[in-house]
Chain A
Amino acid sequence: MGAESGETLRGGDRGGPYAATVRWMENLSETQFAYLLLVPTFLILGLIAFWPLVRTFDMALHADALVGRAQLGEYVGLNNFVELLTGERDALLVRPLLPDVAVDATFPFVHFDNLFVSAISATLIFSVVSVAFETVIGFGQALVLDQDFRGRRWVRVAIIIPWAVPIVIQGMIFYLMFQPGIGFGVDLVQQLPFFSFSETPLANPVDSMVIIIVADVWKTSAFMALLILAGLQSIDRSLYDVARVSGASKWQQFKYITLPLVFPTVMVAMLFRTIAAMRIFGVIETVSGCNVVPSLSCLVVTTFSNRMYGTAAAVAFLTAAIIGALVLVYIYNYATSGQEGI
């Protein structure tokens, strides 16, 4: 048998730069090869994420250039941040459509005189309330999906579908529902005993906030349900047999086995969802507009649209910083809970 010409790769016979490249790559050490293959990933992430993050901070240190061709004014240090946080920038920021709602509003975010702080609180209130409801409802959905029953597959599809609905359509659904004249929602909420909605809820910050929270809960509970379901299904079933033999009722099994074992999963899921919820923008834009419920991302876009690039960058950077703090908590959890996943 011995040496045959066939044993050299035909591809190698092509010669030229192709073969040279292949040869070069094959001779890299494992570490070099790993870094080489990561180049495209970090090129994209660098261009679209790391570089903009740094640039945003740099832009935030410059004044707005409202006139002229230049997009950014002179270097002003932390002035943008200071003015945002003290409320001095408010005169230039967009006001809610109904500034007087502050008088009788029930939600704290409109009480603030400072618009930036009110954007933070609007975002926080939205995130905390919607994540709380999503967790409870998602838990319920997960418990239902954890059962064995005929047609489970289809029930699961039905529960997941809202997750897959484009945000703009999600917004459109709730926009139409609460549109005076056609939406049944307006009549419905006005009959609610404990909470008085205005006749044009989509123009009212507080009413809109409630509607947007409902819209978000409708769409994202399914995501929460899937995460919790995964937690439920990782519980060793024989534990329930042990509990039954010891005479535990269903409720006791839930309380002493299911809840404690699924708790870490729920915490991770809640943190994960809170981080995502703080980016809220699309639903607001579609349902009632950023003027009505100014979230942090809304504030970035509106100041950006008004060519206040310095201010917009400062808001964007503060938004990133607030979320970044939450991300740190998440990463800390991830790093300390062992990395066996990867």
Chain B
Amino acid sequence: MATETPVDDEVDRGPFERWVRRVIRNPERAYRAMFYTAMIVFLFTTLFPFYWLLVLALTPFNRLANVGLFPNGFNPEAFVRIFEILPFHIYMLNSFILAAMTTVFVLVIASLAGYVFGRLQFPGRGPLMLAVLAISYFPPAAFLLPLFRLFNGNVTIGLFGASISSPNLFNTPWAMVLPFSALFMPLSIFILTTFYGQIPDGLEDAARIEGTTRLGALFRVIVPLSAPGVATAGVLTFIMVYNEFFFSFLMNDGQIPEMLYESGKLLYLSNENHWAPLLKGILGFQGQYTQLYNLMAAASIVGVLPVAVLVVVAQEKIVSGLTQGALKE
């Protein structure tokens, strides 16, 4: 119908107006355009901060003032300096170990709970699940004070007339792994409950007939068959622990072991069992080397890399795990 008139119009109008006319006639184009615009805007806003960190990290220290959107020079040395000024790699390694410990701990305990909630019928199942759910929403600040006292040996329990002080765990991995586990276990429990619940009963029965115990059937048949679910729970727990702030910040004094070696012999060791994580490394730059912005940027980039790799590798698991944990339960 409208095909006759526009031919003339298009001759004497600009390309934008021509585009607008075409869009009005064919709204699909408009949606397409909106879609691409939105996509580009989102990509830009999420990725630009990383780019800017890189700019900052590569700019030499003496040219940092008023750095623009491009690096003032090229100075990859910052990525080496961060390991020299502070042993940043030790902080990262600590974070890795803490995250790995928590992940293993959470997976084992959450497997038991997931098996119970997913496969067994018993009175009290609903209320117990609600208790787990509720606790995962409380702010860590509400737990801080008693835990701090507990981990500093300030809680005593009277037992058979003798009073036992709680062990001094401050700075050790346990002062962080235990709170991390409590904080992130509920999500894993819910993910594993869903996965374990889907394994057919026949397989568990078959395993038990073949000679496993009930627990044996769980770890030999149900867990291996739920490998994707276990991987999802594991990846999420690892990332969340690595990213955690509150207890990582408060349950250690920021120190790491100091060692002095001479010709292979350990001369001096202090702060053993001090397990400050990545967070304290980053904040160390901010606190002690207040002007070395390029190093802060470089450390941030290095600190993000492991989780960025995990996201690229395991994005499907992360997506399914997060949506399941939040929506389904």
Direct contact of A and B (CB under 8 A): yes
Interface residues of A (CB under 8 A from B): 9, 22, 25-26, 30-31, 33-35, 37-38, 40-42, 44-45, 47-53, 55-56, 59, 71, 137, 140-141, 143-144, 147, 153, 155-162, 164-169, 172-177, 179, 181-182, 184, 218, 222-223, 226-227, 229-231, 249-250, 265, 268-269, 272, 275-276, 278-279, 281-282, 285-286, 296-297, 300-301, 304, 309, 312-313, 316-317, 319-320, 323-324, 326-327, 330-331, 334-335, 339, 341-342
Interface residues of B (CB under 8 A from A): 27-28, 31, 35, 38-39, 42-43, 45-47, 49-50, 52-53, 56, 64-69, 109-110, 112-113, 115-117, 120-123, 125-126, 128-135, 137-150, 154, 178-179, 181-183, 185, 189-190, 193-194, 211, 213-215, 239, 242-246, 248-250, 278-279, 282-283, 286, 293, 296-297, 300, 303-304, 307-308, 310-312, 315, 318-319, 322-323, 326-329
- Interface residue from B35, B52, B128, B145 paired with A52 (Cβ < 8 Å): B145
Set of chain A residues within 8 Å of B185, measured between Cβ atoms: 41, 44-45
CA distance A59 to B319 in the complex (A): 41
The answer to whether A172 and B296 touch (CB under 8 A), given A160-B318, A279-B141, A285-B245, is yes
Query: In the complex, are the beta carbons of A147 and B286 less than 8 A apart?
Result: no
CA distance A227 to B326 in the complex (A): 8
Q: Is the interface of A mostly helix, strand, loop or mixed?
A: helix
Set of chain B residues within 8 Å of A22, measured between Cβ atoms: 213
- Besides A164-B239, A181-B64, 14 other A-B contacts (C-beta < 8 A): A38-B128, A48-B179, A51-B146, A71-B154, A155-B43, A157-B315, A168-B248, A172-B296, A174-B49, A297-B140, A319-B142, A323-B138, A334-B130, A341-B329
Set of chain A residues within 8 Å of B248, measured between Cβ atoms: 168
CA distance A48 to B243 in the complex (A): 19
CA distance A231 to B215 in the complex (A): 36
Chain A, Cβ-Cβ closest to B42: A141
Set of chain A residues within 8 Å of B115, measured between Cβ atoms: 37
CA distance A72 to B126 in the complex (A): 38
Query: In the complex, are the beta carbons of B149 and A147 less than 8 A apart?
Result: no
Instruction: Give B288 Cβ to nearest chain A Cβ, in Å.
Output: 14
Set of chain B residues within 8 Å of A334, measured between Cβ atoms: 130, 133, 329
